[in-house]
Amino acid sequence: MPTLEYFQVESTEPAGGDLYRRIASTVITDHDILRVLDRLRIFIDPEVPIFIAVGLTRTVPRNIIVSDFSGVTYDGEKVILSIADETYLAPLLELLWKRFGKDRIMQPDRFTIEMHLSAEEQKGIEELIVADPTEGLFKDLIYTMQVICPEGFKVKKQSFQNGRFWFVASENTLQEDVLPLVQQQFAIMEASS
């Protein structure tokens, strides 16, 4: 199991910070995001009150395309998809129904999809993007931070871009621009690498 490259929880109340470090490590393990999380720094000041979490993710998996989980065979106008991994079957069917209509998509059995498509429509079927893992990753990361963050911190702001994410929460109204606070935490994290 991979471990975090950098993991620090700091608080203006050191005893509380230590307890929150334990909470954070339990939650990260429970939510199984250790495999994507590389660095994490959390800062909590209950006086303000504010909770800031900044971090970096490991290399994010690329988009899932049709050929990743199914074999594609062409027989004239007939295209047969043999599904190897059912995980992405539901989003694939949704996508195909939307693009070609339900009446042209048949599913004779659980692992086979038959389609009647023109030569033009057949182009790019194998490269069709079915799922974007980063979308779920972002939700999972932010949800994890929300679970870690103290009760009552309902006002939240978050961002995830190019493997860098931040989450800021407070009980009171957040200041208009939270970026300076976030940058400060990123700087501390990067300085210690």
Partner 1 sequence: MIQVPITYKGGVYRHDEILDLIEDMGGYIIQKHIIAQDVVLQALVPRDDIETLRAVSRPLAGEVIFAPLVGTEIAIVSMSLEIHHLPHASCDVAEYLRTAGAKTNMIGLARGFGKRIGLLSDEERDIINEHDLVIYLFGNFETCIRQKMPTFRRGIHVPIVVTGGPSTDALKKAIDPPVAGYVGEFGRFMHRTKEAPEIAKLDEIVSEVSRVLDGRRSEIAKDPMSISPARLMDVILEQLPDIHDVTSPVPVVVQMDGVRVKLPYDPFAAQLKEVEVEKGVTVGMICDIRPSRMRDYILVKIRPFSDTGQMV
- Binding of residue 136 to partner 1 (CB under 8 A): no
Instruction: Answer whether 123's CB lies under 8 Å from 110's CB.
Output: no
If the CB atoms of residues 48 and 90 are measured against partner 1, the closer one turns out to be: 48
User: What does the radius of gyration of the chain's CA atoms come to, in whole angstroms?
Assistant: 22
- Binding of residue 67 to partner 1 (CB under 8 A): no
CB of 84 to partner 1, least distance (A): 35
CB of 158 to partner 1, least distance (A): 15
Number of residues located near partner 1, criterion CB under 8 A: 25
If the CB atoms of residues 70 and 170 are measured against partner 1, the closer one turns out to be: 170
Measure the CA–CA gap between 160 and 165, rounded to whole angstroms. 4
Question: Residue 83 burial (CB < 10 Å; 0-12/13-18/19+)?
Answer: buried
CB of 24 to partner 1, least distance (A): 9
Long-range Cβ contacts of 66-70 (<8 Å, 24+ apart): 66/92, 66/125, 66/126, 66/127, 66/128, 66/130, 67/126, 67/127, 68/130, 69/130, 70/113
Q: Which stretch binds partner 1 (CB under 8 A): 41-49, 72-80, 131-139, 160-168?
A: 41-49
Task: Give the footprint of partner 1 on residues 2-21 (CB under 8 A).
Answer: 11, 13, 15-16, 19-20
Q: Which stretch binds partner 1 (CB under 8 A): 26-34, 84-92, 97-105, 115-123?
A: 26-34
Task: Give the footprint of partner 1 on residues 149-178 (CB under 8 A).
Answer: 150-154, 171-172
Q: Which stretch binds partner 1 (CB under 8 A): 40-48, 64-72, 105-113, 126-134?
A: 40-48
Task: Fill in the DSSP letter of residue 175.
Answer: P
Measure the CA–CA gap between 91 and 105, rounded to whole angstroms. 14
Q: Which residues bind partner 1 (CB under 8 A)?
A: 11, 13, 15-16, 19-20, 22-23, 26-27, 30, 44, 46-47, 49, 143, 146-147, 150-154, 171-172
